[in-house]
Amino acid sequence: MERMIENGQGILSPALLLEGWQGHRRLTRRVIEAFPEKEFFEFSIGGMRPFADMVKELLAIAEPGLKELVSGEKQEFDEKREYGNKKSELLAHWDAATEGINALWEKLPAEKFPETAILFGAYEFPVLWHIFYFIDNEIHHRGQGYVYLRALGIEPPLFYER
Amino acid sequence: MERMIENGQGILSPALLLEGWQGHRRLTRRVIEAFPEKEFFEFSIGGMRPFADMVKELLAIAEPGLKELVSGEKQEFDEKREYGNKKSELLAHWDAATEGINALWEKLPAEKFPETAILFGAYEFPVLWHIFYFIDNEIHHRGQGYVYLRALGIEPPLFYER
């Protein structure tokens, strides 16, 4: 962000952004829950990854990414981390990340959001843009999870319920 | 938004939000372009709508919705509008909406974003939440379009290119 936020032009606070993000994460959690155990890890369309692998990507980004943005310490982007082979184990990691994100957020003051930061040692953008990317990427893959569920004959959670 | 943005807590301006939104709309445009003519209007998975119908929903929301938020005049939510039967015709409407959104945005000052507004005579939220919803809903359906493209054996545009 070359431009800083001019006085009176601020329309979003860190607290509201966190609220929006965690609302999306609650919906993604319900999408995970909607998958049958086996299909969560195995079902795929058009050569794409199973939804479990997309969720592992989301877990690899959210808490580790935020940790790097907060601390400046380079984190490894690792979407192959082992979370166990059960949906319940991934959900437990999901919930731990929810708490982790909330705790890290306390260390991210408003003035940091327009500052440029390097993520996973590679991507350089303003902190706000990184966090929008985390959220957008989650919505993107969750939308793909909706197609998997529909293809499996399963009604997905309502998109607007957070 | 019960809370207003406290001094110094503003991390996003209307100009940056528009930039982000139009960046997403440019990517969605490339996804439309990536579809073969026939499959754009007909291909479907799991009983879902063809991507053309999702795009008609996006067109029904973006410019008319923003018009209602700006003017306060109730707009009809109509995702069955006729845009012609060719991809090129829908793309022309997409581009007209791009200009329309930019023009309406000029009439939406920062102080309006935390205010509650009714959309399509039905949904009551702060203006900022409505606009995030427009964007999130677009990302969600575009992600579904990516699955359609993959199922058709077509490489979708890069997600991070805007």
For the CA atoms of A148, A151, A152, A154, what is the dihedral angle to 10 degrees? 90
B17 contacts A9? CB cut-off 8 A: no
In this prediction, residue B2 carries a pLDDT of 44
Number of folded domains that form chain A: 1
B131 vs B3, which has greater pLDDT? B131
Poorest-pLDDT segment among A4-18, B1-15, B26-40: B1-15
Indicate if the pLDDT at residue A1 is higher than 60.
no
Distance in Å from the first CA to the final CA of chain A: 29
Structure confidence by residue, pLDDT tens digits, A98-122 = 999 999 999 999 999 999 999 998 8
Look at residue B88 and tell me if it is in a domain. yes
Tell me the pairing of strands A116-119 and A123-126.
antiparallel
Which residues of chain B approach chain A closer than 8 Å at the C-beta?
Answer: 1, 3, 5-6, 8-17, 20, 24, 45-48, 110-111, 113-114, 128, 132-133, 136-137, 139-144, 146-153, 159-160
In this prediction, residue B1 carries a pLDDT of 52
Look at residue A4 and tell me if it is in a domain. no
Look at residue A160 and tell me if it is in a domain. no
Task: Give the predicted TM-score (pTM) of the model.
Answer: 0.96
Structure confidence by residue, pLDDT tens digits, A25-46 = 999 999 999 999 999 999 999 9
Which residues, in sequence order, are CB contacts of A35 under 8 Å at separation 6+? A43, A51, A87, A145, A148, A149, A152, A154
Look at residue B157 and tell me if it is in a domain. no
Poorest-pLDDT segment among A135-139, A140-144, B3-7, B91-95: B3-7
Look at residue B5 and tell me if it is in a domain. no
Indicate if the pLDDT at residue A3 is higher than 70.
no
In this prediction, residue B4 carries a pLDDT of 61
Residues of B in contact with A146 (CB under 8 A): 140, 144
Q: Which of A12, A16, A144 sits opposite B144 (nearest CB)?
A: A144
A46 contacts B152? CB cut-off 8 A: yes
Q: CA torsion sign, B22 to A111 to B8 to A8?
A: negative
- Quote ipTM for the complex: 0.96
| Range of the structural domain that residue B134 is part of | 14-151
Q: What is the CATH number of the domain that holds A130?
A: 1.20.120.450
- Reported as type and span, the H/E element at residue A114 is none
Look at residue A5 and tell me if it is in a domain. no
Indicate if the pLDDT at residue B154 is higher than 90.
yes
Look at residue B18 and tell me if it is in a domain. yes
Indicate if the pLDDT at residue B3 is higher than 60.
no
Instruction: Round the average pLDDT of chain A to a whole number and report it.
Output: 95
Look at residue B8 and tell me if it is in a domain. no
